[in-house]
A and B are shown apart, each in its own frame.
Chain A
Amino acid sequence: SYELTQPPSVSVSPGQTATITCSGDALPKQYAFWYQQKPGQAPVLIIYQDTERPPNIPARISGSTSGTTVTLTISGVQAEDEADYYCQSTDTDGIVVFGGGTKLTVL
């Protein structure tokens, strides 16, 4: 079955830049989405179609893509950014697939 691979954890100091990668063989052909999830809450969309940002998401959050890897970048990390981040895409049949999630810790 199709898999998306994320690092389990990323740690950064406030004001620094956090990068979270997501790798998958179909990513060159299928869009990726990124969700932020805080404890006890439902996931929230922060990036769609690889690089697009919903209106209420700050510009310091961005997405990029290169080959089989998509990357979420959070610039000027703040304490409020501490959360779990999940990438999501689809396989060739349109079945939703999630990465394993990355816990972002703000030191």
Chain B
Amino acid sequence: EVQLVQSGGGLVRPGGSFTITCEVSGMSLSDARMNWVRQASGKGLQWIGRIKRPVDGGTTDYAASVRGRFTIFRDDSKNTFDLHMNSLKTEDTAVYYCLVGAKWGQGTLVTVSS
């Protein structure tokens, strides 16, 4: 069974940085389409970025709201992929989910506040 386990959340000051790791078991990431999605409190799901499979070039794409501030990395040897978030804003406060195929991580709450 495919399982996604995310690292813990935290409180970050505006302008700060934070990284979330998604560890995948039950499948090889080299075959996977990997995405990050976030959900602000009381709001809907928002796609924020993806990293393609190596066979598709392994490139990344980001939503306009996070482009230039967020970066996705993959480590196929560890079967993990990370979301690096820089220059965080209060509006980035949300639960962040990794999404592989149609399987979701448990979510990580990141709160950006002074």
Using a CB–CB cutoff of 8 Å, the interface residues on chain A facing chain B are: 33, 35, 42-45, 48, 86, 88, 93-101
Contacts and interface: CB of A to CB of B under 8 A. Distances in A.
Contact of B44 (A93, A94, A95, A100): A100
A35 B105 CA distance: 14
B12 interface: no
A88 B101 CA distance: 12
B35 A42 contact: no
Interface of B: 33, 35, 37, 44-47, 50, 61, 97, 99, 102-107
B44 A42 contact: no
A97 B44 CA distance: 12
Contacts of A86: 44-45
B47 A97 contact: yes
A78 to B, nearest CB: 23
Contact of A96 (B99, B105, B107): B99
A98 B45 contact: yes
A48 B102 contact: yes
A45 B105 CA distance: 12
Given A42-B97, A42-B106, A95 B47 contact: yes
Contacts of B97: 42-43
Nearest to A49: B102
Given A93-B61, A96-B37, A97-B47, 11 more contacts: A33-B102, A43-B45, A45-B102, A86-B44, A96-B35, A96-B47, A96-B99, A98-B45, A98-B46, A99-B44, A101-B44
Given A95-B50, A101-B45, A42 B104 contact: yes
Contacts of B61: 93, 95
Contacts of A33: 102
B99 to A, nearest CB: 7
A23 B104 CA distance: 24
8 contacts: A35-B45, A42-B105, A94-B33, A98-B44, A98-B45, A99-B44, A100-B44, A101-B45
